[in-house]
Chain A
Amino acid sequence: DGGITQSPKYLFRKEGQNVTLSCEQNLNHDAMYWYRQDPGQGLRLIYYSQIVNDFQKGDIAEGYSVSREKKESFPLTVTSAQKNPTAFYLCASRQLQGRGDIQYFGAGTRLSVL
């Protein structure tokens, strides 16, 4: 999966609970992204970060939070404010300069609500 590790592979959330999804990359990429994938829909951008200590909201950021304290790490927290969190979450990274311009994806985390 291109040097991007997501954990855990499966996660269960109780109502009212915050959960954190891990994403680590060893590709030395500047930019990292979090997407949500629902059946029959295209991937939707939750948050992205192009540099350490900076991140921007995507199209569906409500109920989610992120941090980017290290270049290699971009954890996503699904808060209790996210009322419909059941989905497949994908983390991706990309080198901002040079040729290629390819986003590499992790293997994903499937989040379900108990």
Chain B
Amino acid sequence: KNQVEQSPQSLIILEGKNCTLQCNYTVSPFSNLRWYKQDTGRGPVSLTIMTFSENTKSNGRYTATLDADTKQSSLHITASQLSDSASYICVVTFSGGYNKLIFGAGTRLAVHP
């Protein structure tokens, strides 16, 4: 079954600290993996997108990694800010059909001052 599992479910960190969010997937075949940021009550916004041949992709203080062999991805946030408080969603594209997106349940991050 094509699934995307994220951990932890929720995380609290202090402003200025780093954190890493995890994503494990069983989607096969897959064409790319994305990370989205979703503020409360808003739609998700794309942070990074990586194909299966890419190992890492950065977007400012956000760095995503991908290990296609172990089917794991991580999102590392450096020097966290209060505005980083949001849900972070891992999304894998299943390329076996119409390029269906398989969504993880997200990790809810709270950055405290």
**B-binding residues in A (CB < 8 A):** 1-2, 4, 6, 35, 40-45, 48, 50, 56, 88, 90, 92, 101-108, 110
Contact = CB atoms under 8 A, between A and B. Distances in A.
A42 B43 contact: no
B100 interface: yes
A50 B100 CA distance: 12
B104 A102 contact: no
A90 B32 contact: no
A108 B106 contact: no
A108 B9 CA distance: 22
B4 A105 contact: no
Contacts of B34: 102
Contacts, number: 51
Number of contact residues on B: which range applies? 20 to 34
Interface of B: 4, 9, 32, 34, 41-46, 49, 89, 93, 98-106
29 contacts: A1-B43, A4-B43, A6-B43, A35-B103, A41-B105, A42-B4, A42-B89, A42-B103, A42-B106, A43-B44, A43-B103, A44-B103, A45-B100, A48-B98, A56-B98, A92-B43, A101-B32, A101-B49, A102-B34, A102-B49, A103-B46, A104-B46, A105-B43, A105-B44, A105-B45, A106-B43, A107-B42, A107-B43, A108-B43
Contact of A42 (B42, B99, B105): B105
Contacts of A106: 43
B41 A42 contact: no
